[in-house]
Structure 1
Amino acid sequence: MDIKRFFDDDGAVSPVIGVILMVAITVILAAVIATFVLGLGDQVSNTAPQASFSFDYTEESTVTAYDGDTDSADGSLNITHDGGDSIVASNLYVRGSQDDGAWDTLTKPGGASWYSTQSNIKAGNRIAVNVNSGDTVRVVYESAEGSNSATLAEWSGPDA
């Protein structure tokens, strides 16, 4: 057995490992480039915020509307942001109640706005809307571009 031959042998596994690494790097680069070329990279950044909301329904026999007229609503619903991401008021909507619209367009009794367009709705912020006992109300997030929307919370009235 010639021991010198083992020390001089340069034909090890290195070329095989080198080729495998080069192929792996090429595949990873191709996948990253394809993701952005096909537009899948934009969808990653357009995810809906994670937030939780609670609902507190108050039954009323007559509800005075925000403009001072008597409303046909059965009651009012307080919607409170309990925690999670803060959301710009103009991107957060109440759908399915008599006071349907964005948080920045809904008004308090007396006509004052609850929040401005750029207000950040965060934990502890609330809004009140007129509802009927058979309504289903959803809190919906819509991106500024309008390309992405998601229902963050839903409430069903006692008669729904």
Structure 2
Amino acid sequence: MVRKYSKNDEGVSAVIGVILMVAITVILAAVIAAFVFSMSNGVSKPYTVGITIKKTTSGAVSIVNSGGPDVGQLEHVYVTYQPVNGAAINAYNGEVPADGPDTDTLFDYIEKFDALKTVGGSFTIPAEGVGSPNKVPPTTPTHVIVTGYFKDGKQQVIGEADV
């Protein structure tokens, strides 16, 4: 009987080749995922503070701190309201800030909102409005925004409602 030998020049079988390709793909995906997920270090956790905003029968707007795990981190609270087709108004002195609260004068009156720093603390926007000589009432609907300034220097909207 004569034996025939066949010559095979392949160094690696097809199955080993597929396994190597899958391994390279998995390693590449892991490297890309590690790079992408490490970029999210700048995202901070949101603060949780419960704020209740409602309009009373007299037309005033009542804002109450309902608590939450991050109430103790509040440094200051700032309240604005925006009547229909109007500009945002500082709820303490009736000023109309150009681009949000004016940081130069913000802390001159922000302590007036500090009752909202504690659980159960409240602030009321009177039905006749605030400021002088032109009081702007919180007409219906009015958009109310409560911003919290926290001890670590960050700020976040902690309450917002249309009343």
With normalisation by structure 1, the TM-score equals 0.47
Determine which structure has greater relative contact order: mean sequence separation of CA pairs < 8 Å that are 6+ residues apart, divided by chain length.
2
Which protein has the bigger helix share?
2
Which protein has the bigger strand share?
1
Which of the two has higher C-alpha Rg?
2
With normalisation by structure 2, the TM-score equals 0.47
